[in-house]
Amino acid sequence: MNSTSPNTKELFDASWRWRELIICNVVAALLLSSWVWQPTRQLWDTFDLQLFHWLNAPLATHLIWAKIWAIGNMRPVDAGVGLIMLITIIKSDFIFTGSQVRRALYAFLALLVLMLLIRMTLFSEAVKLMAWQRSSPSLNVEGAVRLTSLFPDWEQKWYLKDSSKQCFPGDHASVLFIWTALLLFFARGKALFFVWLITVLYLLPRLIAGAHWGSDVFVGGLFLSLIAFGWGFYTPYVAKAQDLLEYSTAPMMHTLAKWPILRNISFISGH
């Protein structure tokens, strides 16, 4: 059990924390500016190319290694990782106590909604206006190893993906970073190690396959998550959103908790 976890009502503060909010926005702005400003953009371009060659080249000579990352880039695996992320939040006494898991999950969902709104409106328009969009390294770099070429039957059968014509920003990474940032506030010990392990393992498949440049992840994805997390976590938004979701779903949870098996699930029972 995570003995350092706060009480349920203290999980999320319904107040404005200006210092932290400003830090998140300033760091996000500096990160994006370093990618947009030409002198530092050259450094990012060099990093992108070197990282891609370093991660992608071994696929050509190690078939088992290539199969591992081909599996990692399948859509069913994406769904499986998403399920692991949810279970990590709602598993009682792993990171949150039984009375906290429902509110923790609602907070995560609220942050995701906020990030998607930012991604699909303001940021999407900025990407179009500034012509930031680009295709992935697997489509641009000469000699790139394509997993879909190594395993052609897997592309349609298992939805294997190793390329994108619109790879900026890294949407998978932005979702993952939101999850990581939220759980880092509460995870301790083995749970903290597990959160970092999932974060690293889930970032690697798209980078190794060449579906994303490094800066798609560490600029685009991180920028979105910093903005969304700042305006969600350090303002009353998350606390108010989870209160609303708690109130809206209370009748349904009360009904489900009457069933013998379901009443033992902390997310439903609330304890």
Tell me, what DSSP letter sits at residue 96? B
**Gyration radius from the chain CA atoms:** 20
Query: What distances in angstroms separate CA 15 from CA 25, 37, 101, 146, 232, one per listed residue?
Result: 17, 35, 21, 49, 11
> Which pLDDT belongs to residue 10?
64
> Which pLDDT belongs to residue 13?
87
Neighbours of 77 (CB within 10 A): 17
Query: What distances in angstroms separate CA 92 from CA 14, 82, 86, 87, 140, one per listed residue?
Result: 24, 18, 12, 9, 46
**Among candidate residues 105, 115, 126, the one with its CA nearest the CA of residue 225:** 115
> Which pLDDT belongs to residue 262?
84
> Which pLDDT belongs to residue 6?
43
3-class SS of residue 242: helix
Q: Which residues in the chain land under pLDDT 50? A: 1-9
> Which pLDDT belongs to residue 171?
94
d(CA 154, CA 157): 5
Q: Which two tokens stand for residue 176?
A: 């993952």
- H-only helix segments in 37-136: 38-56, 63-72, 75-90, 101-118, 124-130
> Which pLDDT belongs to residue 39?
95
Query: What distances in angstroms separate CA 125 from CA 4, 56, 231, 270, one per listed residue?
Result: 42, 31, 19, 41
d(CA 266, CA 1): 14
Name the β-bridge partners of 96.
92
